[in-house]
A and B are shown apart, each in its own frame.
Chain A
């Protein structure tokens, strides 16, 4: 069936089978392979994208269910060569090793800071509790999200 989904502000249309999962639609149709396809069982969080601003697991969402909704992927974070503060934070705090979990971590972190600009470490850990890093670098991931929160707050004060 024909579906049209807004991905990072672009309307993407294709005739697909209803059983196609959102993660595969994102990777195959606009070819945005930043969203990673991980455990396939909604446990690992590598496939997290934002649906109307809220993080969802795209391996457990049908693409056809997303028509009429705004999907945001990791590719939308960087704008005109300017990294999003959460991306910058991951860079500054060495918050990735192999990088497989990173897209999901970044989108989960972005959604957290949009809702709660000054989260505690516990709130950060709770927010990313649905995302698994098998390099077990959680400490630096928490530091990176903390870094992003602090730098976003500072940037807002300057404006």
Chain B
């Protein structure tokens, strides 16, 4: 039987209350939301929090809305709601594409975006999605809020910029014209972790790629931001040749390891191919064309 080690449990009734509880308990405390990443880790003793603060009652953290030129997603928003959000599908279709292949529908009823990002598993799809979409996250502590870009959020494997006594409360996506995005994933079977996943977002202006985001999942210790590919794409007119060059960079700049999901050369190959496919569809979406 797999059971977590003993811990103390409390239910937060407000965001401030949750932060106060985290602060009081220090480094031994963890937030639990859906629990579908944390509880399996606790069963395996890969995580051993002494104190869990349950935020499932904090309905004020469950929303997807447009505000001040951004889409704002509450940290407690569940995968099922991200999947069905028309607002997200309209502006950032890569979310729906990723959600269709994250775990299974039953798991998606519980798991949350905040939990997924804070788990900081390099193979987790939403981290790549948010990185490519240039998301910013809001981290709140007792002394106030700070806003952190995805490039500074994942600081190591299973490690994030969220400190002791802090709570990730919101994900923000800037609405810019000419946006297109796509998520590509190859998995061994339905609902599995990615062998490799690639997310791409582009913002096209006057026939040229004004800005681009490319991120890879499952091919390194953390989500890989393929910044060299982003630099290559910026300011250029989209073409198959350009996508191929970006794919070559993605293939070179990731650092996969061999495991049951495949050898290194196969994963590098996939990283390149999936980057090309994601970019091709992202650009087609931005130009309202069929990929």
Contacts and interface: CB of A to CB of B under 8 A. Distances in A.
Interface in B43-78: 43, 52, 54, 56
Interface stretch (A55-63, A71-79, A90-98, A149-157): A55-63
A75 B8 CA distance: 32
B7 A18 contact: yes
Contacts of A129: 104-105, 190-191
Interface in B1-19: 1-9
| Chain B interface bracket (under 10, 10 to 19, 20 to 34, 35 or more) | 20 to 34
A126 B105 contact: yes
Given A60-B36, A130-B103, A65 B54 contact: yes
Contacts, number: 77
Contacts of A130: 103-107, 191
B27 interface: no
Contacts of B5: 19
B208 interface: no
Interface in B61-117: 103-107, 109-110
B103 A19 contact: no
B104 A60 contact: no
A40 B2 contact: yes
Interface residues of A, number: 29
A64 B8 CA distance: 11
B104 A65 contact: no
Nearest to B110: A56
Contacts of B235: none
A12 to B, nearest CB: 18
Interface in A89-141: 108, 126-127, 129-131
A91 to B, nearest CB: 24
A62 B35 contact: yes
B35 A61 contact: yes
Contact of B4 (A19, A43, A45, A56): A19
Contact of B39 (A24, A43, A62, A131): A62
Given A65-B56, A127-B105, A42 B36 contact: yes
9 contacts: A17-B6, A19-B3, A55-B105, A55-B109, A57-B36, A64-B9, A127-B105, A129-B190, A130-B104
Interface of B: 1-9, 32, 35-36, 39-40, 43, 52, 54, 56, 103-107, 109-110, 190-191
Interface of A: 1, 17-21, 24, 37, 40-43, 45, 48, 54-57, 60-62, 64-65, 108, 126-127, 129-131
